[in-house]
């Protein structure tokens, strides 16, 4: 469920040198809380960022996170609006998780992290975590570690697939793999229909039940009331649409999609299962309904003026061919629409109160290891396999790859 975890979409490239200079202004910048008028116009400020922001930094997602119990923190960092959330961790204290800030390079990120940490220290924060939109590379990872920042868990995925929606419908499909184009045609022959439906309580329940079955405890999802409230808010403000695909009259797959600026995001989705109680295999058979659903989503996103569609989460470019990856099938499906995988640098933590921050991070790492343990998940009756993209959870394995 992407309402509380997923990968924020990014823009392709920084654009002009002027934009890069604006981004570098974050370095050495002043940090403060946003005032009431700035919060009132938050989306406008986010869209003025050189990277044009993303769904997870916008007011609709903030409202959804509040419904789920999160506490938003509105910051101005170097003149740019930066969305953050405060997490109260038992015993260890308060954590700020920033979705951003918009920076040009790792050096500006390090400087911004130190500025925000100093500001957080004056406000009783234990640690600050920055979820950057910079692309991943080993040099930046080493620079961050050398500066005292450490890789940390987050609810957002670190890799995704972005689909280019520009040009005509023919142009868009021409960029798909042959498998995707053929599957869209096959779905039509199979009688698959995809409807854009209102986010009523009943329709949200239909999607939620498929989402819950797809999850099977493998990933956390909000409750039905929270999910419904989030979907309905997006729809109310014209930034979201619920889709249901039917095969032979039965709903077999659905999705909710949101927009922010020129990007649409695959926000939450689920499908029927092959066997009740088994989340590992979908029950779509040869209908190719999932491909038809994605194409209708893209058609809708283009009508909203979107130029990019973020498919929200995939194995990394390094593990996309690893058949043992717990999301291998997901990755193969999504890369049928675009071969390029966007790998993010991920979330890094800077400590404000080192002792407590270290304890906080170790507790989260332990939870992550439990979640990916084959033995423990068999005992918990959860069909979860280790995720090779979480190599940073294991210092020995990470050192072997560096």
Please state which architecture CATH assigns to domain 159-342: 3-Layer(aba) Sandwich (3.40)
pLDDT tens across 58-110, in order?
A: 999 999 999 888 999 999 999 999 999 999 988 899 999 999 899 989 999 99
| Range of lowest pLDDT (202-206, 290-294, 371-375) | 371-375
Q: Over range 270-284, report the average pLDDT.
A: 74
pLDDT tens across 328-344, in order?
A: 889 999 999 999 999 99
- Entry pTM: 0.87
Q: Which residues contact 251 (CB under 8 A, 6 or more apart)?
A: 206, 210, 244, 245, 272
Residue 346 has pLDDT above 80, yes or no: yes
Residue 55 has pLDDT above 70, yes or no: yes
Does residue 54 or residue 26 have the better pLDDT? 54
User: Domain boundaries in the chain?
Assistant: 17-157+344-371, 159-342
Phi-psi map region of 285: left, alpha, beta (phi>0 left; psi -120 to 50 alpha): left
CATH superfamily of 17-157+344-371: Gcn5-related N-acetyltransferase (GNAT) (3.40.630.30)
Residue 325 has pLDDT above 80, yes or no: yes
Phi-psi map region of 74: left, alpha, beta (phi>0 left; psi -120 to 50 alpha): beta
Residue 230 has pLDDT above 60, yes or no: yes
Residue 340 φ then ψ, to 5°? -75, 130
């Amino acid at each position: 469920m992407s309402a509380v975890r997923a990968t924020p979409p990014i823009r392709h490239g920084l654009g002009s040198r002027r934009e890069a200079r604006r981004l570098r202004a974050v370095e050495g910048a002043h940090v403060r809380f946003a005032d009431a008028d700035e919060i009132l116009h938050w989306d406008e400020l986010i869209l003025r960022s050189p990277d044009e922001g993303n769904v997870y930094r916008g007011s609709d997602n903030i409202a959804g996170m509040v419904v789920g119990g999160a506490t938003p923190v509105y910051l101005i960092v170097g003149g740019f609006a930066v969305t953050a959330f405060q997490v109260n961790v038992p015993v260890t204290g308060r954590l700020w998780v920033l979705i951003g800030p918009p920076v040009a390079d790792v050096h500006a990120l390090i400087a911004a992290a130190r500025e925000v940490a100093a500001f957080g220290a004056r406000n009783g924060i234990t640690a600050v975590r920055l979820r950057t939109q910079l692309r991943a590379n080993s040099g930046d990872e080493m620079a961050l570690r050398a500066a005292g920042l450490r890789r940390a868990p987050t609810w957002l995925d670190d890799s995704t697939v972005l689909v280019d929606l520009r040009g005509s419908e023919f142009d868009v499909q021409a960029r798909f793999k042959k498998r995707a184009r053929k599957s869209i045609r096959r779905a039509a022959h199979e009688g698959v229909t995809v409807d854009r439906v209102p986010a009523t309580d009943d329709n949200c329940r239909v999607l939620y039940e498929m989402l819950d079955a797809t999850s099977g405890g493998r990933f956390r999802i909000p409750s039905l009331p929270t999910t419904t409230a989030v979907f309905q808010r997006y729809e109310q403000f014209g930034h979201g649409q619920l889709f249901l695909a039917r095969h032979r009259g039965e709903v077999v797959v659905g999705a909710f999609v949101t927009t922010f600026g020129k990007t649409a995001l695959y926000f939450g989705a689920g499908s029927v299962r092959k066997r009740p109680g088994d989340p590992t295999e979908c029950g779509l058979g040869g209908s190719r309904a999932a491909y038809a659903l994605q194409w209708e989503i893209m058609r809708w996103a283009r009508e909203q003026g979107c130029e990019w569609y973020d498919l929200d989460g995939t194995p990394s470019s390094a593990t996309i061919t690893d058949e043992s990856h717990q999301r291998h099938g997901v990755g193969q499906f999504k890369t049928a629409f675009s071969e390029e995988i966007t790998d993010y640098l991920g979330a890094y933590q800077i400590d404000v109160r080192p002792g407590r921050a270290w304890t906080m991070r170790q507790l989260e790492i332990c939870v992550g290891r439990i979640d990916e343990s084959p033995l423990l998940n068999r005992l918990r009756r959860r069909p979860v396999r280790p995720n090779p993209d979480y190599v940073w959870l294991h210092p020995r394995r990470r050192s072997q790859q560096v």
